[in-house]
Amino acid sequence: MVRGKIQIKKIENTTSRQVTFSKRRSGLLKKAHELSVLCDAQVAAIIFSQKGRLYDFASSDIQKTIKRYAEYKGEYFVAESHPTEQYVQVSFYISVLSHFYVSSITYRNLY
Amino acid sequence: MVRGKIQIKKIENTTSRQVTFSKRRSGLLKKAHELSVLCDAQVAAIIFSQKGRLYDFASSDIQKTIKRYAEYKGEYFVAESHPTEQYVQVSFYISVLSHFYVSSITYRNLY
């Protein structure tokens, strides 16, 4: 079956948008899996639906991939960035991870 | 042009693997972009090639997406996980945090 090209802009009809989301989401996660297997690549994909539901794929442990990403970016900052930008970027990671640090204390108090 | 189905396993020929990686990587990042626009979804994709080169896409700030992911998972742990698993997961985030915290001190000493 041949279909015409669609325009890449937000689908206004809610039902169509949800159907498209479901199909393309599955397609994307499948393609991510295939890329990782065929080419021996480390792949991670994170998708939040408009309603805030999470769908993800990771060829290996997603936390390792995020950590590798953070490390890669960290090294990049040293080589390329403006010092102020570095500080902003690094501060971000501290703030994200502080969230987990605080959470972990809460968790330990729960048990 | 109609092609036969290919088997999803690692491509052994290095040249073929690199060509496939290049084409499928572009395809995946394009599809990720289209999904985010068409369906108003928040999408992030991280790809490391076999040689360790990074390719990524994010519909909005990738750090925000990772933070949202971490928060989503954090909430999930409270509701669903075994306490020991929580501790392991949370420890991971602390270890990533430490990496960046140490880096930030190093950066500040550089300037």
Percent of chain B with pLDDT over 90: 49
Domain shared by B73 and B24, yes or no: yes
The reply to whether A68 touches chain B by the CB within 8 Å rule is yes
Host domain of residue B104: 81-110
Number of separate domains in chain B: 2
Sign of CA dihedral B35, B37, B43, B49: positive
- Predicted-complex ipTM score: 0.73
Please identify which residue in the block is written with the tokens 């990074």.
B54
| Whether residue A96 sits in one domain with residue A54 | no
Which residue of chain B has the CA closest to A110?
B83
The answer to whether position B64 is within a domain reads yes
The pTM (predicted TM-score) of the whole model is 0.73
Q: Would you state the pLDDT for residue A95? A: 53
- Give the domain CATH number at A49: 3.40.1810.10
- Same domain, yes or no, for A53 and A93? no
Alpha carbons B56 and A44: distance in angstroms, whole number:
10
Asked whether residue A1 is assigned to any structural domain, the reply reads: no
Domain co-membership, B63 together with B105: no
**Pairing state of beta strands A42-48 and B54-58?**
unpaired
Report yes or no on A18 lying in a domain.
yes
In a domain? residue B5: no
Residues B43 and B87 in one domain: no
A54 and A98 both lie in a single domain: no
Name the band, by pLDDT with cuts 50, 70 and 90, for residue A105.
Answer: very low
Residues B73 and B21 in one domain: yes
Q: Can you tell me the distance from the alpha carbon of A65 to that of A41, in angstroms, rounded to the nearest whole number?
A: 11
List the single residue in B6, B24, B38 with the smallest CB-CB distance to A20.
B38
Residue B99, in any domain of the structure = yes
Q: A37: pLDDT confidence band, cut at 50, 70 and 90?
A: very high
B interface mutation test: which of A39, A62, A87, A106 has the most B CBs within 10 A? A39
Q: Does A81 touch chain B (CB under 8 A)?
A: no
Q: Are residues B56 and B90 in the same domain?
A: no
A61 and A86 together in one domain: no
Residues A40 and A19 in one domain: yes
Residues of A in contact with B41 (CB under 8 A): 21, 25, 47-50
Q: Does residue A103 form part of some domain?
A: yes
User: Which is more confident, A40 or A75?
Assistant: A40
| Minimal C-alpha gap between A49 and chain B (Å) | 5
In-domain check, residue B3? no
**B38 in contact with A, Cβ within 8 Å:** yes
Query: In this structure, which amino acid lies at residue A87?
Result: Y
Q: Which of B48, B74, B110 lies nearest to residue A68, judging by beta carbons?
A: B48
Q: Are B57 and B29 in contact (CB under 8 A)?
A: yes
CA A102 to the chain's CA centroid: 23
Domain match, A49 and A95 both = no
* DSSP per-residue codes, A40-67: T-EEEEEEE-TT--EEEEESS-HHHHHH
Any domain includes A17: yes
Chain A residues touching residue B39 (CB < 8 angstroms):
10-11, 17-18, 20-21, 24-25, 49-50
Inter-chain residue contact B41 with A49, CB threshold 8 Å: yes
pLDDT score of B42 more than 90? yes
B63 touches chain A (CB under 8 A): yes
Q: Give the C-alpha separation, A6 to A21, whole Å.
A: 14
